[in-house]
Amino acid sequence: MVVTRPWRVLLLALVLPVTLVVTGCGPSQRERELRDSNQQLEHQVSGLQNDLSSAQKARDQALADLAKAQQERDTAKKGLADAEAHAAMLSQDRDQVVNQLQASKAQIDTLTKQRDAADAALDQANASLAQARADAAAPTVAPPQAGEASTQASLDAANARADAAESEAARLRTQLQKAEADLVKASDDLGAMTQARDEIRTARDALEAQTVDQANALAAAKQQEQALGSRVTQLQARVADLETQVTAANQALTQVRSRATEEATALATMQKERDALQGQLTAAQHERDVLQARLDATQAHSSNLAQQLQQTAGDLQNARGRATELTRSLEALVASHQGLQQLTEAQRSELASVHRRLEEAQNVVARLTGARGIYTVQPADSLSSIAVFFYRNGNLWPAILRANAHLIDNADLIFPGMVLIVPEIAGAGGT
């Protein structure tokens, strides 16, 4: 039997009211004794439960190891059986190859004898051919025609025998070469099968040794499982005895629990109030965190805006400075060209370059200030006529003057080709 945690929870539930009573009313001798006894019992139960849990875990681990060892043993046995079957099959194949090898050797011996006989017949045919040729070349007393016919017939017969012997010898040599090649292949196959058989025997020996080791491990695991089972039984008996003692202690604490009921009720009420205050505090802290996050985000955004504003102010100042310098250059060029009937290509190019760069600088100023755009002064233009053109109101020319304060010192001293900023005026109509 395994003791579960509810017993510990029950013990704590019994000890807590005792503690409340002791705190509120002052402990009596009997209460102190009960409290000490309960604490000792709780420690004993806790220790035994830990020991029991450890023993059960060790037993479960031993059982798992036992199952694993049995599985490994079965796997080793199967591997051993497969290796033995494979070795038997290789032995059969090897026997077949040995038989084939012996048959090939016998065939080679036979073919060798036949080749030797063919070579002898060829030698004999060659000797006959040579004799026939010699007879044909030697002088004879026979009639020429009869002697030549007889010699030619002998020569043809010898040639036929020689050709037949040579063909037979060639055929036997071919068969002998093929038989020798088959013999070499059979020898190679025999060597490979012998090596494979030796490897399988080595693997089989290793599997047999592994099987022995697994059997020993299995026996040790079974012994450990039996020992742990005995230990678990002893611990369960001890826990049962302590359960009996706990039951007696519970009966002794019944009166103490009745006295502690009111204290527990008061404590529950205070805990509810504390929980409510804790909830309010948590909500306030959350609200504070949210506001702090918003403040941090606002400060970061303000810092970014300040940096952007500083950068924009620097860019605006630089653009206005370039526009002022280019306007002075343009004014000087226009003044130097007055009185000339016709400008050279270089003069026109220089004038167009300065005017283009001036437009670029004024466009930057217009973009950074949110202006309406830029305008190139034409002959006979004035600030009021420009205001009439853009706003339908000539009295708005001071706005144009303020937007171009970096270029215009005197409202009456504007010149054709000058590039002006046209500001955006709320409520002003125009083109």
**Does the pLDDT value for residue 7 go beyond 60?**
no
* pLDDT digit string, tens, across residues 234-258: 858 785 785 778 477 468 556 737 7
Has residue 176 been placed in a domain?
Answer: yes
Q: How many CA atoms lie within 13 A of 357 on its CB side?
A: 15
- The strand ranges marked E within 279-346 are none
Other C-beta atoms closer than 10 Å to the C-beta of 207 total: 20
Q: Which of 55-59, 207-211, 333-337 has the lowest mean pLDDT?
A: 207-211
Residue 80 confidence class, pLDDT cut points 50, 70, 90: low
- Residue 26 parent element (H or E): none
- What pLDDT sits at residue 421? 97
Does residue 208 share a domain with residue 81?
A: yes
359 or 133, greater pLDDT: 359
- Structure tokens that stand for 348 in this block: 């026109």
Answer whether 59's CB lies under 8 Å from 229's CB.
Answer: yes
In this structure, is residue 311 part of a structural domain?
Answer: no
Residue 172's CATH number: 1.10.287.950
The domain boundary, picked from 199, 234, 252, lies at 252
Asked if residues 88 and 222 have their Cβ atoms less than 8 Å apart, the reply is: no
Query: Which pair of tokens denotes residue 245?
Result: 């003692």
Is residue 265 domain-resident?
no
Do 336 and 231 fall within a single domain? no
What is the predicted pLDDT for the residue at 22?
40
> What is the sign, positive or negative, of the torsion defined by CA atoms of 360, 363, 367, 368?
positive
pLDDT recorded at residue 251: 80
The predicted model gives 331-342 an average pLDDT of: 87
Q: Which of 32-41, 329-338, 385-394: highest mean pLDDT?
A: 385-394
Domain count along the chain: 2
Q: Is residue 246 assigned to a domain?
A: yes
Q: Are 409 and 425 in contact (CB under 8 A)?
A: no
- Residue 90 CA to residue 222 CA, distance in Å, equals 39
Shared-domain flag, residues 167 and 66: yes
Single-letter code of the amino acid located at 89: M
Whether residue 347 sits in one domain with residue 224 = no
Are 232 and 359 in the same domain?
no
Q: Tell whether 358 and 231 lie within a shared domain.
A: no
At 186 the pLDDT is 61
The predicted model gives 189-194 an average pLDDT of: 76
Confidence of residue 356 (pLDDT cuts 50, 70, 90): very high
Is the residue at 161 inside a domain? yes
Alpha-carbon gap, residue 330 to 357, rounded angstroms: 10
Q: Per-residue pLDDT tens for 261-316?
A: 676 575 588 789 889 979 997 996 899 899 789 878 868 887 786 788 788 789 99
Query: What sign results for the dihedral spanned by CA atoms 46, 47, 52, 58?
Result: positive
The residue out of 252, 279, 307 marking a domain boundary is 252
198 DSSP 8-state letter: H
The amino acid at 392: R
In a domain, 216, yes or no: yes
Task: Clarify whether residues 206 and 61 are in a common domain.
Answer: yes
* pLDDT recorded at residue 389: 95
Domain shared by 28 and 123, yes or no: yes
d(CA 107, CA 182): 11
Give the residue numbers spanning the domain of 377. 326-422
Lowest-confidence region among 23-27, 79-83, 305-309: 23-27
Give residue 226's pLDDT: 87
**Would you state the torsion angle of the CA atoms of residues 216, 221, 224, 225, taken in this order, to the nearest 10 degrees?**
-140
Q: What is the mean pLDDT of residues 5-21?
A: 47
- Overall average pLDDT of the 343-367 stretch: 95
Residue 309 lies in a domain: no
Return the pLDDT at 20.
Answer: 43
* Token pair for 210: 């592994």
Domain end call among 230, 252, 274: 252
pLDDT of 2 reads: 46
Cα dist from 23 to 31, 250, 407, whole Å? 12, 20, 89
Give the pLDDT score at 184: 82
Helices (H) and strands (E) in the chain, counts: 7, 2
User: How far apart (Å, rounded) are the C-alpha atoms in residues 97 and 390?
Assistant: 112
* Phi, psi values for residue 374, rounded to 5°: -125, 165
Give the whole-angstrom CA distance, residue 409 versus residue 397: 14
345 and 248 assigned to the same domain: no
Task: Tell me if 16 sits within 8 A of 42, measured CB to CB.
Answer: no
Most confident option among 13-27, 193-207, 349-363 = 349-363
**pLDDT tens track for 132-165:** 778 767 654 444 455 567 767 877 887 888 788 7
Q: How far apart are CA 431 and CA 22, in angstroms?
A: 93
CA distance 166 to 352: 110
- Inter-residue contact 375 to 422 (CB < 8 Å): yes
**351 and 233 in one domain?**
no
Q: What's the pLDDT score for residue 19?
A: 43
Question: Residue 394 maps to which CATH number?
Answer: 3.10.350.10
Report the mean per-residue pLDDT for the chain.
80
Under a CB-based contact definition with an 8 Å cutoff, are residues 399 and 425 in contact? yes
Q: Do 363 and 231 reside in the same domain of the chain?
A: no
pLDDT at 121: 82
pTM for the whole structure: 0.35
Whether residues 239 and 362 share a domain: the answer is: no
For residue 353, being part of any structural domain is answered with yes
How many whole angstroms separate alpha carbon 184 and alpha carbon 273?
101
For position 382, what pLDDT does the model report?
Answer: 96
The percentage of the chain sitting over the pLDDT mark of 70, rounded to a whole number, equals 79
Contact 173, 129 (CB under 8 A): no
Q: Which residues contact 283 (CB under 8 A, 6 or more apart)?
A: none
Token pair of 260 as six digits: 């502690």
420 beta partners: 375
pLDDT tens digits, one per residue of 33-61 = 888 888 887 888 788 788 878 878 988 89
State the Cα–Cα distance between residues 225 and 378, nearest whole angstrom: 109
